[in-house]
């Protein structure tokens, strides 16, 4: 199946989502947290992107990032998914099993208002999904505390695939996960630097002053609180409760759970219909140009340049070499 075309120009803001194929695998325990941190730092080191915000749930990851080199967006997500898949499969004693769904959703954010909506959604997602009442109480990995505190540079251990072996049945529990994480971290001496840039997306929209950036960040915090309160009111109406911090921390790996996905992939995000339609018209024209270039490549016109901003496919094989 052909990969969907993506447009990630330098300086653009993306709202990226990638999901676990099946199971509850990114749990709220020290073992999973160590995997997430190691894979994030490694992916950022090899494929630099300006990561602004991130929240990880058991079945998916939401991020907002700003593009430096378009090629590094795909590389960043591929590296994170590949490394984490090997580590998780090692813990589960599985060989060459698919962990992540193919591809990822990465609509380009076209306006500051829509970026605020995306970031607020990212942090209020645990409340919306009835995991906890607030992101403050959510025990899973997120950049929320780094965002609030301003302490955005961290040193995390780099972990290796061979450190992750099948979990014995007697320690397949929260206490066992914590002990295993401690041993794995002690076995590693290599540190990696991870940098969060919560204001990088503001730079992309020309909002550079500290005063203006602080004002926008307060809007984000206020909207997160509003969405959490709305989710709580909905639970009260429907007589539902959250799973809760303590139960989330005691979950064990579940390989049979099948996530219910009903969202659709978007090309762009904007609260203004005129802005969306202008971008969609531009993007459709760009895709037509790309298809025409691929057709010309197949005919042997390999010097024709691929439209900038899109990821070119591999050159077609025009002939086989002769054996002598």
Helix (H) or strand (E) holding 195: strand 191-195
| Domain ranges within the chain, ordered by starting residue | 13-271
Angle at 60 between CA 240 and CA 253, to 5 degrees: 80
What's the CA dihedral at 66, 67, 72, 73 to 10 degrees?
A: 60
CA atoms of 65 and 78, how far apart (whole Å): 15
Contacts of 293 (CB under 8 A, 6+ apart): 304, 305, 306, 307
| pLDDT (tens digit per residue) in 137-168 | 999 999 999 999 999 999 999 999 999 999 99
Strand partners, 193: 155
**Tens digit of pLDDT per residue, the chain (324 long)?**
345 788 899 999 999 999 999 999 999 999 999 999 999 999 999 999 999 999 999 999 999 999 999 989 999 999 999 999 999 999 999 988 899 999 899 999 999 999 999 999 999 999 999 999 999 999 999 999 999 999 999 999 999 999 999 999 999 999 999 999 999 999 999 999 999 999 999 999 999 999 999 999 999 999 999 999 999 999 999 999 999 999 999 999 998 888 776 667 789 999 999 999 999 999 999 999 999 998 988 888 888 888 887 888 777 766 665 555
Check if the beta carbon of residue 166 is closer than 8 Å to that of residue 138: no
| CATH 3.30.70.3420 is right for the domain spanning 13-271 | no
Q: Would you say the C-alpha torsion 266, 269, 273, 275 has a positive or negative sign?
A: negative
Q: What is the pLDDT of residue 306?
A: 86
Contacts of 315 (CB under 8 A, 6+ apart): 297, 302
Angle at 269 between CA 265 and CA 275, to 5 degrees: 130
CA atoms of 117 and 188, how far apart (whole Å): 39
- pTM (predicted TM-score): 0.91
């Amino acid at each position: 199946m052909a990969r969907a075309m993506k447009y990630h120009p330098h300086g653009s803001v993306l709202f990226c989502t990638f999901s676990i194929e099946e199971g509850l695998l990114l749990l709220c325990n020290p073992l999973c947290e160590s995997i997430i941190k190691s894979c994030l730092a490694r992916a950022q080191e090899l494929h630099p992107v300006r990561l602004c915000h991130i929240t990880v749930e058991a079945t998916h990851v939401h991020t907002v990032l700003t593009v430096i080199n378009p090629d590094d967006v795909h590389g960043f997500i591929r590296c994170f998914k590949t490394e984490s898949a090997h580590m998780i499969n090692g813990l589960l004693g599985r060989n060459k099993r698919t962990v992540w769904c193919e591809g990822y959703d990465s609509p380009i954010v076209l306006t500051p208002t829509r970026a605020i909506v995306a970031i607020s959604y990212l942090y209020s997602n645990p409340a919306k999904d009835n995991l906890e009442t607030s992101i403050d109480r959510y025990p899973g990995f997120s950049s929320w505390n780094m965002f609030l505190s301003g302490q955005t540079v961290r040193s995390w251990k780099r972990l290796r695939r061979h450190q992750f072996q099948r979990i014995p049945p007697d320690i397949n529990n929260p206490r066992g996960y914590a002990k295993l994480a401690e041993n794995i971290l002690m076995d590693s001496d290599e540190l990696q630097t991870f940098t969060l840039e919560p204001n990088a997306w503001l730079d992309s929209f020309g909002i550079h002053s500290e005063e203006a950036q602080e004002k926008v960040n307060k809007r984000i915090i206020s909207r997160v609180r509003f969405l959490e309160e709305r989710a709580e009111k909905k639970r009260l109406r429907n007589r539902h409760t959250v799973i809760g911090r303590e139960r989330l921390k005691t979950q064990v790996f579940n390989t049979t759970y099948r996530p219910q996905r009903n969202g659709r992939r978007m090309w762009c995000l904007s609260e203004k219909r005129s802005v969306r339609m202008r971008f969609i018209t531009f993007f459709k024209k760009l895709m037509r140009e790309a298809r025409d270039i691929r057709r010309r490549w197949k005919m042997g016109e390999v010097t024709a340049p691929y439209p900038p901003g899109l990821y070119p496919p591999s050159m077609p094989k025009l002939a086989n070499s002769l054996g002598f």
